[in-house]
């Protein structure tokens, strides 16, 4: 059994889920399916990440995979620790826009025109969502370049890699 070091997180996952439910109702008419939200100690180059193990238009996927285990929003402990609540909420909202693009619009998430339109609507209410964070220095390159694949992502913050026989899409903020 692997030993895991507990991490100190700025907000509990339950609190993040409550914020997610509030934003889902206020901005997405409760159309976003439930998603797992996690804190990540390893996420250091971006404040948040929306990830799915399948593509948005995959013809058949086990419902548990499409609307459960296969999708996750991760938030960075190193970058968001010590940040105000508004920064954490804004990062979660940013990743929810990517989730909306993926789950509702069936698009590969990007920071294009529709992303910016939704971001502007949310920012009109004071959410303070941005596309790029300025929360801390970028990490030093890893000696094992394959682990830092996110540095090779295409402009717009999206990319893919093959891992364990699956293509995984990752969308980063």
Q: Which two structure tokens, joined as six digits, stand for 11?
A: 């907000």
- How high is the pLDDT of residue 71? 85
Q: How far is CA 103 from CA 39, 57, 87, 173, in A?
A: 21, 9, 24, 18
- The H or E element that residue 22 is part of is helix 13-28
Cα distance between residue 94 and residue 166, in whole Å: 25
Mean pLDDT by 10 residues, the chain (173 residues): 59 95 97 94 90 63 56 93 92 95 86 94 94 66 43 38 40 46
Ranges of each domain in the chain: 13-131+150-172
Torsional sign, CA 102, 107, 110, 111: negative
Indicate the CATH number for domain 13-131+150-172: 3.30.2010.10
Other C-beta atoms lying within 10 Å of the C-beta of residue 80:
24
Q: Which residues pair with 59 in a beta bridge?
A: none
């Amino acid at each position: 059994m692997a030993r895991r070091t507990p991490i100190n997180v700025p907000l509990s996952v339950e609190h993040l889920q409550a914020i997610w439910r509030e934003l889902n109702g206020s901005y997405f008419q409760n159309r976003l399916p439930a998603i797992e939200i996690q804190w990540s100690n390893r996420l250091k180059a971006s404040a948040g990440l929306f990830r799915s193990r399948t593509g948005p238009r995959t013809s058949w996927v086990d419902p548990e995979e499409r609307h459960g285990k296969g999708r996750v929003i991760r938030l960075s402990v190193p970058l968001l620790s010590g940040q105000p609540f508004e920064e954490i909420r804004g990062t979660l909202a940013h990743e929810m826009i990517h989730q909306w693009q993926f789950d509702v619009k069936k698009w590969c998430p990007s920071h294009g025109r529709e992303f910016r339109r939704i971001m502007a609507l949310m920012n009109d209410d004071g959410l303070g969502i941005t596309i790029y964070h300025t929360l801390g220095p970028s990490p030093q390159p890893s000696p094992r370049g394959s682990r830092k694949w996110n540095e090779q992502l295409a402009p717009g913050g999206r990319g893919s890699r093959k891992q364990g026989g699956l293509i995984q899409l990752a969308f980063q903020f």
